[in-house]
Structure 1
Amino acid sequence: MSSSPSIIPREKLDFGLQGDIPRFWFGGDPFKTRFVDAMSTIFPEGERYFITCVRDFRDQVTDPKLKQEVTDFIRQEGQHGIIHSQFNERLKAQGIDVDKLEGMTRSFLFGFMRRFMPKKHTLASTAACEHLTAIMAQTFFERKEMLASADHRVHAMYAWHAMEEMEHKAVAFDVMQKVAKVGYLRRVYTLVEVTLGFNLQILIYTRLMLKSDGFSRLQRLKMLAKGLWWIYGPGGMFTGNLKPYLHYYKPGFHPWHEAETPSYHRWLEAFNRTGDPIEAGRAVFAGGI
């Protein structure tokens, strides 16, 4: 098992989100832009959900190291929600009904999951989401072509988010295993649940955003057909790291069976040297394959 890096909450970071970021910042591609924008609309409520689900068991954590990791996890996730809320203000200015999308996310996570599912289950779903975000970080930033055409400021925001996900990727999992004593079947079932639900939600939100942008139904269908290959085709955005995704289903799995990726070390060195998350994002891109 690899040794875990330090979990370091980084606050008051400036990504230049008030600048002249193009409406379709992902190489001028509306579908790719709105697909990633859809993820941003989910994050503020999603991060709040993760924090709440881990907090359910916080008082039962006795190990001092894990207790500190939970504290740092909460601070990092809180910052992620803040920064993505700032980014989402840009979407509101473009006419996207972010409040509606966030309300839909909130209704599902807090109106359904938190209301009707056991706390062990919502914690397990949090651990599953953390696994997804950690392996997505590998896909996005180890393969240079994935975000090559993205605006450098948005790239830097997602790079920062991804690197911190790598730092705390085992926290919810350890609370789930060591404190909540969640069994294997619930652990793997929630990953199936989260995988299907997350993908469906992102595609629905993407469609709604493109409709707000004024694209016709036929135009949206053409974008979707092309976009699905980009996401799910061989080596796609979500299929490019299928192997580490499947590792979660192995009995005895732990997130630190796999070390953080090289992009993490590039980002950390650049950020510690410059204190600038945009420069750190550039360093990640420059070192990609």
Structure 2
Amino acid sequence: MSNKPIRRPGPVESGHAPPRPRRVSFSWADTPLHWVPGDPFTTHTVNVLHLLLPAGERWFVHVYKQVLPYIHDDALRADVIGFIGQEAMHAQAHDEVLPHLREQGLDPTPYTAQVDWMFEKLLGDRTLPPGRPRWWWLRERVALIAAIEHYTAFLGDWVLNADALDRAGADPTMLDLLRWHGAEEVEHRSVAFDLFAHIDGAYARRARTWALAFGALMFLWQRGIRFFLANDPTLDRGPGGTAKASLMDFHRRGRAGLLPGTGALLRSVPGYLRRDYHPSHECSTAQALAYLASSPAARAADAAVGKDAG
């Protein structure tokens, strides 16, 4: 364990402050099942976030609470505490979409039960002897979170710039949820990597856990899309009884700007594996904060805080 003060390389953006949670809320009463009109594939590809994120981000919080005693850099500790608050709020906000899906005839429970098992059991606390075995497992999970956060920042940057969704008439409440969340992912994009560097930083562990995270995310995402399409009560199943989806569907919508482009996704891989990689080289904190200053949900949350303080 290094426990050295973190030196943040790359372009330093002025006015750095620890990330802070914004206690947002959303009303889903007017959001249709296919919130990208006429495009269930795009809708459900993004909807997989509502299945994966609540359990995943609760797991982030659980792991980071365990690692707090090992942080001996005051600025990093403040960043991690802010990260914990934001991730807890993300989990809650996406969790609140699930009852809305059930009301529209799409029950996600069979899939979310599998995701819960993965994070709570497979990646949860293990009965290990104290000392090196427990410390090894904690570092493994911190490294996994850093790898996953590389992709949540990638997705956050994409959705902040996905003007094609606006042109397609996507539901504004869902867009605000996604962009509020995406902006906070960009805002705190360096925290997980800095924490990993602080307690370990080994390149072999970084590369190994990246491969595990990338493979798991791709596997879970395609399963989630298939689950939604197979259980969407409004879709014509066709003679085979299931709605079809393919990589070509994803690629075409990526080219149209409705989903992340496959080329951009693939180009993000070697970036994380560079030895000189740091998240501060990517995305824009200024853009993220500008969206958070204009987000209807974030503005309402800030107004409520100000009213309570007054």
TM range (shorter): 0.7 to 0.9
Specify the code of the residue in structure 1 equivalent to 2:20.
I
Name the counterpart of 2:161. 142
Name the counterpart of 1:97. 107
Cα separation, 2, equivalents of 1:210 and 1:270: 33
Higher Cα Rg, which structure: 2
In the alignment, is residue 132 of structure 1 matched against residue 166 of structure 2?
A: no
In the alignment, is residue 257 of structure 1 matched against residue 266 of structure 2?
A: no
1:68 equivalent among 78, 84, 90: 78
Name the counterpart of 2:204. 185
Specify the code of the residue in structure 2 equivalent to 1:176.
F
Q: Deviations over 1:89-146 (max 9, x none)?
A: 1112223332222211111122112256822111111111111010112222224125
1:162 equivalent among 182, 197, 200: 182
Identical aligned pairs, as a percentage? 25
Q: CA RMSD in A?
A: 2.6
Q: Is the 8 A contact 1:114 1:122 kept in 2?
A: no
Gaps of at least 5 residues in structure 1 are: 278-289
Q: Is the 8 A contact 2:106 2:231 kept in 1?
A: yes
Seen in structure 2, the aligned counterparts of structure 1 residues 260 and 156 have a Cα distance that, compared at 3 Å, is same
Q: Deviations over 1:235-268 (max 9, x none)?
A: 7615253434421110021111235266424313
Seen in structure 2, the aligned counterparts of structure 1 residues 219 and 141 have a Cα distance that, compared at 3 Å, is farther
Gaps of at least 5 residues in structure 2 are: 1-9, 127-135, 302-310
Name the counterpart of 2:119. 109
Seen in structure 2, the aligned counterparts of structure 1 residues 154 and 259 have a Cα distance that, compared at 3 Å, is closer
Seen in structure 2, the aligned counterparts of structure 1 residues 201 and 238 have a Cα distance that, compared at 3 Å, is farther
Specify the code of the residue in structure 2 equivalent to 1:20.
D
2:96 equivalent among 63, 73, 86: 86
Specify the code of the residue in structure 1 equivalent to 2:88.
G
Comparing 79-88 with 223-232, greater Cα deviation is found at 223-232
What's the offset of the Cα at 1:229?
A: 2.1
2:67 equivalent among 37, 57, 60: 57
Name the counterpart of 1:122. 141
What's the offset of the Cα at 1:162?
A: 0.4
Seen in structure 2, the aligned counterparts of structure 1 residues 233 and 120 have a Cα distance that, compared at 3 Å, is farther
Name the counterpart of 2:5. none
TM-score, normalised via structure 1 length: 0.84
In terms of fraction of residues, the more helix-rich structure is 1
Q: Deviations over 1:198-237 (max 9, x none)?
A: 1211111221222212442647554435523246769761
Q: Is the 8 A contact 1:57 1:175 kept in 2?
A: no
TM-score, normalised via structure 2 length: 0.79
